[in-house]
Every structure is written in C-alpha cells, then in structure tokens.
Amino acid sequence: MKILLSGVKPTGRPHIGNYFGAMKQFVDLQNEYDSRIFIADLHAFTTTTDAKQIREDIIGVALDYLAIGLDPKKCLIFKQSDVPQVTELCWLFDCITTMPYLMRAHSFKDAEAKNKDISVGTFNYPMLMAADILIQDSNVVPVGQDQKQHVEFARDTAEKFNRIFGETFILPESLILENVAVVPGIDGQKMSKSYNNTISLFATDEEIQKAVMGIVTDSSGGIPKNVYAMHSLFKTKEELDQIYSENEGKYKVLKDLLAEDIKTFIRPLREKRAELEKDLPNVLQILKENGEKARAIAEIKMKEIREKIGVSLY
C-alpha cells in the first residue's frame, strides 16, 4: 500500500473549506492507502504562543478527525510534537537549503507583503513541513491548492538530499481535487481562518443561517455567484441548474435552500463530535498510542538518515 500523509494546524475551528479541500479526502482514501493524518501543532506556533489555546485546539482537531470518520484502526492519527524527529530532520534540511530558495514561498511573500515581523519559524515553515512528509516516506499528500507549493518544496528537498547523501527519500506528490482546490468564503475570497469569512465545520444551525445570509451577492439580479459556488459543494450541477433557474433573482430563497443543505450536512458531524467529546480520555489515549507508533516509524528513518550523514559512530 502506498503511504498517504497530511495534517491540519490546530489554530481555531476548521471550516468547510478545510473539509472539502483536504479533510474529506483523508476519510475517502483511508481504505486505499496506508494513511497517516496528524495535527500540525508545531506549525501552529508560527501564529500563536497561547499554550492554553494550543492545548484546546489540539484536542479539538483530534475530535474533528474522529467526528468526520477517520478510523484510528485504519489510519494513524497523531500529533506532530509526538514525533520530535521531524525537528531534527528539519535542521538538516535547513542546512542544505538556501535563503533565496525559501524566499520564493508564497506563504513567506504573503507575510512579507503584509509587512509582518516575520519569525524565523514562518520563514522556515516549508522545511518543517518537508520533514513531516519525508520522514514518513509519504507517497501522496492530499491538500488544498494553497499547500501545493509546500509539497513541491518537500520534493525538491528530497531530491537535493538524495543527491548529496545518497538515495534516502521518496519523492512525494500532492493530491489536489480540482473542483474543491479553493473553496470560497462568504465574501467570495478563499475561505480562510484569517479572513473571517468561514463557515465552521461544526457550526450550529443558527451560525450557519447567519453566515449564509451574510454571503456577499451582487445586485445584478442574475445568479448569485458566491451562493452558487458554495452550493456546488452540496449539490450536483444538474440539481443546481434547476434550482437556480426556478428561483432566478430570488436571493433570499436561494440562500435559505443553501442554508438547509449545509445544516443537513453538518448536523450528523456535530452530533458525532459532541458524543466523542464526552469521552476525552479515550481521544487522548488514541493520540498517545498513535503518537508512539508514528515516532517509532520516524526513528527508524532517522537512524538511516544519521548513518547517511555520517554522525552514527556507535
């Protein structure tokens, strides 16, 4: 079986963009691949230093993974910080990577464009991600479009390391679904935690209603583009063509229909999550056991790497 790996950062609540862009694939593919899905908690420190919040959000993502249907018997569900070998490997990647190369990262350029005081961690983010991917010998990495370049960086880094130290890493490939590569938010831009335009994956009916009513529409009276785009996550083109031609110009009706579809979709997920939340010790136990397995796999790889780079003496 080929190895599949991906992760989500524990920073705030995941939204339907995260779900359709990436997380749904984790569930759909868990029978076909040797899957390893983790919580990218070390990456979260590029945007937060609130220990209490991090703790809550780590448990939050673990609950999310289980609630959407990831099965810990089929799929390794762990947190990144339980595999400290990735930071060791990240350092080695830092030493064979140049600053001009990392300056090409979209994530870095975006941060720079916003004139942020950029941390070394933010700059280095793609190398830690490369270590996550390569230490597990991953073949495929399901992600949204915004992570494509990061997976390419992991590939480049694997090639460079192999060239310098000898064949060590598999070259990974990203897996991006065209139709959901970029899920739009309620303002029509990419749905993102940082744009305040999200619909949370476990939102209440009231929150969904409010968010959908807030979707930005133009006033031309035709098909409301942003409503339609979000609706296409839940209905086929044929179904939508009918609904939107029958209700042309009736934005309120169309929004109500969309809100109902989202509510119907989210309700069972929300209920499952609430159920899981009643037994947190079980969730922590799953993380702990899977973390140990992931760490053991990473340590075997790291031993090989230490041999290759010449530091294994005894």
Of residues 3, 9, 19, 90, which one binds ligand TRP by CB under 6 A? 9
Q: How many helices (H) and strands (E) does the chain have?
A: 14, 5
Q: How far is the C-alpha of 252 from the C-alpha of 32, rounded, in Å? A: 42
Count Cβ neighbours within 10 Å for each residue of 61-73 and write b for 16 or more, e otherwise. bbbbbbbbebebe
What are the backbone angles phi and psi of residue 178, rounded to the nearest 5°? -50, -50
Size of the site for ligand TRP (CB under 6 A): 14
Question: End-to-end alpha-carbon separation of the chain, Å?
Answer: 34
Could you say whether residue 191 binds ligand AMP (CB under 6 A)? yes
Asked whether position 143 contacts ligand TRP by CB under 6 A, the answer is yes
139 is an interface residue for ligand TRP by CB under 6 A: no
Q: Is 264 exposed, middle or buried (0-12, 13-18, 19+ CB in 10 A)?
A: exposed
Tell me the closest approach of the beta carbon of residue 141 to ligand TRP, in angstroms.
Answer: 5
**Which conformational region is residue 172 in: left (phi greater than 0), alpha (psi within -120 to 50 degrees), or beta?**
beta
Based on the shown chain and the rule CB under 6 A, indicate whether residue 40 belongs to the binding site for ligand TRP.
yes
Rounded CA-CA distance 130/62 in Å is: 22
Write out the DSSP string of 130-181: HHHHHHTT-SEEE--GGGHHHHHHHHHHHHHHHHHH-S-----EEE--GGGS
Q: How many residues bind ligand AMP (CB under 6 A)?
A: 16
21 is a contact residue toward ligand AMP (CB under 6 A) = yes
Check binding of 9 to ligand AMP (CB under 6 A). Answer: yes
Q: Give yes or no for a contact between 23 and 68, defined as CB atoms under 8 angstroms apart.
A: yes
Query: Counting contacts by CB under 6 A, is residue 21 touching ligand TRP?
Result: no
Closer CB to ligand TRP, 43 or 231, in the complex: 43
Counting contacts by CB under 6 A, is residue 42 touching ligand AMP?
Answer: no
C-alpha angle 46/135/96, rounded to 5°? 70
Given ligand TRP, ligand AMP, none, residue 291, with its beta carbon under 5 to 8 Å by kind, binds: none
Distance of closest approach, residue 95 Cβ to ligand AMP, in angstroms? 26
Enumerate residues 146-175 that contact ligand AMP by CB under 6 A.
Answer: 146-147
Minimal CB distance residue for ligand AMP: 21
User: What count of other Cβ atoms lies within 10 Å of the Cβ of residue 216?
Assistant: 15
Q: Give the residue with the Cβ less far from ligand AMP, 144 or 172.
A: 144
Q: Which CB atom, from 122 or from 226, has the smaller least distance to ligand TRP?
A: 122
> Which of 97, 147, 226, 290 is the binder for ligand TRP (CB under 6 A)?
147
Cβ 18 to ligand AMP shortest distance, Å:
4
Contact between 201 and ligand AMP by CB under 6 A: the answer reads: no
CB of 204 to ligand TRP, least distance (A): 25
**Contacts by 244-253, CB closer than 8 A, 24 or more apart:** 248/221, 248/222, 248/223, 249/221, 249/222, 251/217, 251/224, 251/227
* Residue 231 near ligand TRP by CB under 6 A: no
How many Å apart are CA 37 and CA 26, to the nearest integer?
7
> d(Cα 3, Cα 32) in Å, to the nearest integer?
9
Q: Is 62 in the site for ligand AMP (CB under 6 A)?
A: no
Least Å distance between CB 289 and ligand AMP? 23
Name the site residues for ligand TRP (rule: CB under 6 A). Answer: 5-9, 40, 43, 129, 132-133, 141, 143, 147, 150
Name the site residues for ligand AMP (rule: CB under 6 A). Answer: 8-9, 17-18, 21-22, 143-144, 146-147, 180, 182-183, 190-192
